Amino acid sequence: MTYSITNQCIECDRCLSACPTGAIQKTDQRYEIDPTRCNNCVGHYAIAQCWSACPTNHGCIPGITTVFNSSIGLTGSQDYWEQWFTTYNRMISRLHGVKHSEYWNDWFDGYAQRISNLLQAEHQAIGTEA
């Protein structure tokens, strides 16, 4: 999914130098992103550099409308969601694969018990006031 430049762009030139693929061009006092060159900074950065460099936070946005307006229709959005769930499932499996130390388990169990005791005491105090 490519990014696009909105009417909130203040033409500060930051995105122009931040783009690793050179997808941003200035034409007739307006910036535009070439969708054939924009790859969302994949392979270069974790987040799109035009968006991260933008001082307005709304000058560059993901071009979601290009997915729905394209001739492929819902296929583009399905690809997006397939990628999203693939990433989600990968991250969840990494979380489940983490082995915590005995110290961490003891600390967490003790903390959970203290919270449980506080909640029970609060519930009993509310019950006696009524």
The full set of domain ranges for the chain reads 3-76, 94-129
Phi, psi of 32 (to 5 degrees): -140, 150
- Evaluate if residue 69 carries a pLDDT over 80: no
pLDDT score recorded for residue 66: 40
- Please give the average per-residue pLDDT across 41-62, as a whole number: 84
Residue 4 neighbours by CB under 8 Å, 6+ apart: 33, 60, 61, 62, 63, 65, 66
Topology classification of domain 3-76: Alpha-Beta Plaits (3.30.70)
pLDDT score recorded for residue 110: 94
DSSP state of 108: H
Global pTM exceeds 0.95: no
Q: What is the CA radius of gyration of the chain?
A: 24
Strand partners, 33: 24
